[in-house]
Amino acid sequence: MNIGIIGAGAMGSGIAQVAATANCNVNLYDTRPEALAISQEKLAKIMNRLVEKERITAEKAADIQANINYVESLETMAQSDLVIEAIVEKLEVKKEVFSTLETIVSDQCILATNTSSLPVTAIAAACKHPERVLGIHFFNPAPLMKLVEVIPAIQTDQAVFDQAKSTIDSWGKLTVEAKDTPGFIVNRVARPFYGEALRLLEEGVADVATIDWAMTKIGGFRMGPFTLMDYIGNDINYAVTETVFKAFYYDSRYRPAFTQKRLTEAGYLGRKSGRGYYDYRENAEKPMPNQDETLGQKIVDRIVAMLINEAADALHLNIASRDDLDLAMTKGVNYPKGLLQWADEIGLSTCVSRLDDLFEEYHESRYRCSPMLRRMAKWGRKFYPET
């Protein structure tokens, strides 16, 4: 296949590597020659490391690199079977790119956006043939993360969706289908992992190190929320939260935190800036957590209840299937369990009680229980009745 990738940043370069590894011919386009040079240089280093670790042969590494053409003209997309856009998260910029692309590619070419939070339907509307536009959302780093969300716009033709999904599956990825709603699956369902952790911090329930300790050692998550936000970048994480909050008409469940906004304003972006919730500068002292098991369990119970509620509500609103929701959270953000499976293990009535206790304490719609979760608890049902 001939694959076009627009944007040679970390995400675009990663997608190009994935496609090239699947023996596709890739044209990686960027308006900045320096971005293309950096992308090519980084890929060479990655390939050398993989060869050194005996993950691939030197011949395979050479083939992957040869499969990618670094181009500065959008006209090179003309022979593409599939074009994936991975540029800045600005709707007007993306719409302009898609409108231009449509005049270059063939009628059979599928056009996809890698957006993580913008409406695919709005991007498709910029085209005269929106039926061939959809979302194909990879996770960073694309070569390592198995999950890809495939999002049909309202206008997307079913045959286009099926073909795109089949293509990404053939690249060795795990695809899930998500409705075109803010945040799709992962960026929507994961919001409480960050938001509720920040709420606990702002209320003084526990400090950063203690919340991270609780979520990893007791909750079983690979990274604590503050370590993960520092890894992602506070500017990026805050921007996604703000986008989802606005897109959901300012629903309090997705409200950003002033703490993260202030850190972003201060330039404390996390690992990439040397400071975030933690101090990454040389000789910086690492804060020690309060390893109180009772406190730790309280933290885990509250955050996990909020995550389960979000997953249940996504199922209630037909954002995705039960299996795709749980697959997305385990493979997209490495959660220790699928949230709906976890709800069954905890007990749906227990989840409802925890949410109701929070709502009774705060009287905020942020803590309202999903109708599906409450209904299923009342009826004594499980999300996985077969187990």
pLDDT digits 0-9 by tens, 35-89: 999 999 999 999 999 999 999 999 999 999 999 999 999 999 999 999 999 999 8
CATH number, span 186-387: 1.10.1040.50
Q: What is the pLDDT of residue 114?
A: 97
SS3 of 121-156? HHHHCCCCCHHHEEEEEECCCCCCCCEEEEEECCCC
Q: Sign of the CA dihedral 228, 339, 144, 135?
A: negative
Question: What backbone torsions phi and psi does residue 57 show, to the nearest 5 degrees?
Answer: -85, 165
Q: Which of 13, 187, 234, 309 is catalytic?
A: 187
Q: What is the pLDDT of residue 139?
A: 93
Other beta carbons within 10 angstroms of residue 370's beta carbon come to 21
Alpha carbon distance 43, 31 (integer Å): 19
Q: Which two structure tokens, joined as six digits, stand for 91?
A: 């709707």
pLDDT digits (tens, 9 = 90+) for 213-269: 999 999 999 999 999 999 999 999 999 899 899 999 999 999 999 999 999 999 999
The amino acid present at 367, given as its one-letter code, is: Y
pLDDT band, very low/low/confident/very high, at 117 (cuts 50, 70, 90)? confident
Question: Which whole number is the average pLDDT over 100-124?
Answer: 96
Question: Which whole number is the average pLDDT over 260-285?
Answer: 96
Is 149 part of the annotated catalytic residue set? yes
Q: Which of 137, 237, 309, 370 is catalytic?
A: 137
Alpha carbon distance 61, 379 (integer Å): 56
List the alpha helices (DSSP H) in the chain. Answer: 10-21, 33-52, 58-66, 91-101, 120-124, 158-170, 186-189, 191-203, 208-213, 225-232, 234-247, 258-266, 293-316, 322-332, 339-346, 348-362, 371-379
pLDDT digits (tens, 9 = 90+) for 199-212: 999 999 999 999 99
Q: Sign of the CA dihedral 163, 168, 174, 176?
A: negative
Q: What is the pLDDT of residue 58?
A: 96
Q: Which residues contact 152 (CB under 8 A, 6 or more apart)?
A: 120, 134, 135, 158, 161, 177, 180
Cβ–Cβ under 8 Å, residues 230 and 271: yes
pLDDT band, very low/low/confident/very high, at 190 (cuts 50, 70, 90)? very high
Q: What is the mean pLDDT of the chain?
A: 96
Q: Which of 116, 117, 234, 309 is catalytic?
A: 116
Alpha carbon distance 287, 290 (integer Å): 10
Beta bridge partners of residue 135, listed in sequence order: 113, 151
Cβ–Cβ under 8 Å, residues 136 and 113: yes
pLDDT over 80 (residue 387): no
Q: Which of 67, 80, 102, 149 is catalytic?
A: 149
Name the pTM for this structure: 0.94
Q: What is the pLDDT of residue 8?
A: 97
Of 218, 351, 318, the closest CA to residue 359 belongs to 351
CATH number, span 2-177: 3.40.50.720
**Start and end residues for every CATH 1.10.1040.50 domain found in the chain:** 186-387
At 274, which helix (H) or strand (E)?
Answer: none
Q: Sign of the CA dihedral 147, 151, 157, 158?
A: positive
Residue 213: exposure state from Cβ atoms within 10 A (0-12, 13-18, ≥19): buried
Cβ contacts of 44-52, under 8 Å, gap ≥ 24: 46/17, 46/143
Q: CA angle 329-331-335, nearest 5°?
A: 50
Q: Which residues contact 43 (CB under 8 A, 6 or more apart)?
A: 13, 16, 17, 64, 65, 68
Is 187 part of the annotated catalytic residue set? yes
Is 137 part of the annotated catalytic residue set? yes
**Start and end residues for every CATH 3.40.50.720 domain found in the chain:** 2-177
